[in-house]
Chains A and B, each alone.
Chain A
Amino acid sequence: MPAPKEARDGSDFGKIKGVHLVPEEELYTSGHRTCEGCESALTMRQFIKVAGPRTIVTGSTGCMYVANTSYMTTPWEVPWMHTQLGAAGASAIGTAAALRALQRKGKDAREKVNVIAFCGDLGGGDMGLSGISRALQTDYDLLVILYDNESAANTDIQATGLTTWGAQTTFTPTGSADRVNRASMRWKKNVAAMLAVGHPNARYVATACATFPPLDYMNKVKKALALGGPTLIHSLDPCPKGWDYHPRYSHEVGELAVRCGIFPLWELTDGVLKYNYDARKNRKPVKEYLECQGRFSHFEQSDVDFVQSKVDEMWDSWEVPGVLPVKTGAVRRPAT
């Protein structure tokens, strides 16, 4: 682990300490074709607020591309470019490399320009993993924000590797022969932890939820940008369209996801883990979270129990609860 670099703007990374201190100007503004209550739009709005105008954003194919620039328009006030579905990592590298080369060779004035690549759970968590992996190995200043609405949402909701176990999507519908679709029976990929463990060079990897706890996500963005080097934030974005709940409840649904422990909230700074919500001690029943979403309307008690048991396992049995499923210690012998 390399020695930690000095934070560029003080030891608290210029943390926003109260809601009245959030920058007021919008750099991602009204006029995007996102769903009512879209938390991913909120995630974009908030990251660029704190990143500021000296930022280049790349947006991979997905809702946060198509729903924002349809058609031949843009809600962005900072430079933004579309990139391909699995190319978030590569787009961040290319952008950062260009800035570094041009500044070093004297073709551009030297300045810190933020590079933020925004990708979804499909493009980032599945297809684009190799590119993000490489990005996290470089020494460029770049931030990959993986917004997770737990589906391929722009194609009208299909399951991805990050979709919650058992959820209905158009690829995992409930049916008379298969109540909980067998293709949906896979536990959510632990992508942030996976990337953190595999890339010790990255000084900051975190999970986040745009609305809970208040200001947590925005401060994580600030911290990532201030620390420098390659960084990653995985944000859970409740999706009224895909998850099937009325848009006005987006905040509650996100908060419930965190409070019931199904979405671990943590940050890893220079290898030191901190829980931003400690679900080891206090967890709401997963049932509360599941029953407010129509995508789980086909669940029976046994399914709820199963999900609860996996969440409990994550917090009660994992080596690093909510983060690392690896166990150390004696191997259990099979019963004779």
Chain B
Amino acid sequence: MWGSLIPETVRDARELASVKRIEINYRGIFQKQLAKKIANYVVYVAHSEGKVAFSNGRYSDSPERNGVPCKYFTFVSSDLTEGQLEAVCGSKMDIESADVSVVLDDTMVKGVEPWAWHGIRPVNEKIGPGGKMIVVTTKSRGELVRFLGRKPFAYDLALLEGEASFSGLWVFKDDSTDVRVLGAIARADPGLVSIKAVEAYTRSAFKGEKAKAARLAHDSLLMHRVEPSEGIDWPHAPPRLPSWKEMREGLVVPAVSRAYAKGPRGQSRSTTYLRGTTKSARPVVRFDLCTKCTLCWLECPDECFDPTTDGLFDVNYDYCTGCGKCAQVCPVEGCIVMVDELRFDNNDSPWERYKIAPEDYVGWAKKSAGGDYVLHNVVTGTGVRRVKVPEGKGKRS
């Protein structure tokens, strides 16, 4: 099991430049199969190049929940044995650093919070100096960097053109995103897998357009440098986990304290897990069209609406998971529209804004919704369609 190359110390093995780590950031369930395919393709390709590789999901992400950020990992080495790579990278619940970080849904640049007590972390957290981040996106560099956490060193940001590819558990949307990302990885870090090996693999494993897509993605990938001065000071500190003496006995945690008053943030909510980073889109509410039917508030599985003194319902975006139920059940066309999360840079109370300056707010709401928006088909993996934002005059049947 231990080959001829045995490092002097375990530390040497850890620092061997030949060990490459890829993490794939993805939306749980929606991109579960996609992430796993990409991770496994890297193993196959690395293997074909005579390297040693293995892949695994982050166990604590499991069971995955629709939209909750998850990670998948692949580890590759050109000179360690299987056992050594396992010792250095395996039998761990998470990753320490990533050479390549893939982001399959660009809205994840706003932060990822996979479970309570984990904190809201920057999606580029694990990138090291000279590391590469590949984002599947239709956005420009600037539109993404404005959300990313600032790092003390430079790293590369590669933009792979495309909408986030979402599926469900049983119907997979095969739009070649998997092989395109593979091609992008080869371009971003040729030492990890070579495009030659990638091409050989995709041409043997797939037919038609899909067989060529990796190469095309590789060639068309836009690479940018991100400087140490770019990005934001990350506003969320990771939580400190209590010691065994500080923890209550008998697996007891205090309930969320009861507090309720009408108005924005009048309802008490969890402080250990916010959920807001689950969403790819958020509901924009046209308070001017609202008929106060209560259905958005009533049907929200995440208790994100705060009833207000004037019978309207404020949205708490810190907790909204972007499921879209409110938009779907609202009886007034155009009153609630799900809008790309990247169009918003704060989670301020929309109702407060509306009360202060209603016309301003309505104008802003119309603008942020834009001309059209992405609407998922009922069976997620069958794709999306672009729908024009309705004028918001009539009631829906």
Chain A residues near B (Cβ < 8 Å) = 19-20, 22, 24-39, 41-42, 45, 53, 63, 66-67, 69-80, 153-157, 168, 211, 240-242, 244-252, 292-295, 297-298
Contact = CB atoms under 8 A, between A and B. Distances in A.
B63 A154 contact: yes
A227 B90 CA distance: 56
A77 B257 contact: yes
A251 B67 contact: no
Interface residues of B, number: 62
B260 A241 contact: no
Contact of A19 (B170, B298, B304): B298
B269 A241 contact: no
Contact of A249 (B117, B271, B378, B381): B378
Contacts of B116: 31, 33, 70-73
Contacts of B329: 251
Given A73-B253, A157-B169, A295-B170, A19 B60 contact: no
Contact of B273 (A33, A39, A245, A251): A33
Interface string B262-302: 10000111111111001100000000000001110011111
A292 B303 contact: no
Nearest to A244: B168
30 contacts: A19-B295, A24-B262, A26-B303, A29-B256, A30-B274, A30-B302, A31-B116, A33-B68, A36-B66, A66-B63, A67-B63, A70-B116, A73-B116, A76-B256, A77-B256, A153-B63, A156-B62, A156-B64, A240-B66, A242-B169, A244-B168, A244-B171, A247-B324, A248-B328, A250-B301, A251-B299, A251-B325, A292-B379, A293-B379, A298-B170
A302 to B, nearest CB: 19
A25 B63 contact: no
B293 A19 contact: yes
Given A22-B298, A77-B268, A241-B65, A294 B253 contact: no
B381 A294 contact: yes
B170 to A, nearest CB: 4
B319 interface: yes
B327 interface: yes
| A-side interface mostly | loop
B316 interface: yes
The list of the 6 closest CB pairs from A to B, nearest first, reads A31-B270, A248-B324, A244-B168, A73-B116, A36-B323, A35-B66
B302 A41 contact: yes
Contact of A30 (B67, B275, B377): B275
B302 A244 contact: no
A297 B170 contact: yes
Most A Cβ at <10 Å: residue of B62, B66, B170, B275: B170
B335 to A, nearest CB: 14
| B-side interface mostly | loop
B294 A22 contact: yes
B81 to A, nearest CB: 33
Given A34-B65, A35-B29, A76-B256, 12 more contacts: A29-B256, A29-B267, A30-B267, A30-B304, A36-B65, A37-B301, A74-B270, A168-B170, A241-B66, A244-B380, A248-B323, A250-B301
B321 interface: yes
Contact of B258 (A74, A77, A250): A77
Contacts of B256: 29, 31, 74-77
Contact of A294 (B68, B171, B272, B322): B171
Given A30-B302, A77-B255, A293-B379, A241 B272 contact: no
Contacts of B298: 19, 22
B210 to A, nearest CB: 20
Contacts of A297: 170-171, 379
A68 B256 CA distance: 13
Nearest to B267: A26
Interface string B91-119: 00000000000000000000000011100
B131 interface: no
Contacts of B29: 35, 241
A80 B171 contact: no
Interface string B62-78: 11111110000000000
A292 B378 contact: yes
B319 A67 contact: no
A67 B68 CA distance: 11
B241 to A, nearest CB: 9
Contact of B60 (A24, A71, A240): A71
B164 to A, nearest CB: 13
Interface in B179-226: none
A82 to B, nearest CB: 8
B307 interface: yes
B376 interface: yes
B365 interface: no
Interface in B300-315: 300-304, 307
A19 B322 CA distance: 23
Contacts of A28: 303
A303 to B, nearest CB: 14
Contact of B274 (A31, A153, A211): A31
B338 interface: yes
Contact of B253 (A20, A45, A74, A249): A74
Contacts of B379: 244-246, 292-294, 297
B234 to A, nearest CB: 21
A245 B325 contact: no
A11 B361 CA distance: 47
Most A Cβ at <10 Å: residue of B268, B321, B380: B321
Most B Cβ at <10 Å: residue of A41, A244, A297: A244
B255 A35 contact: no
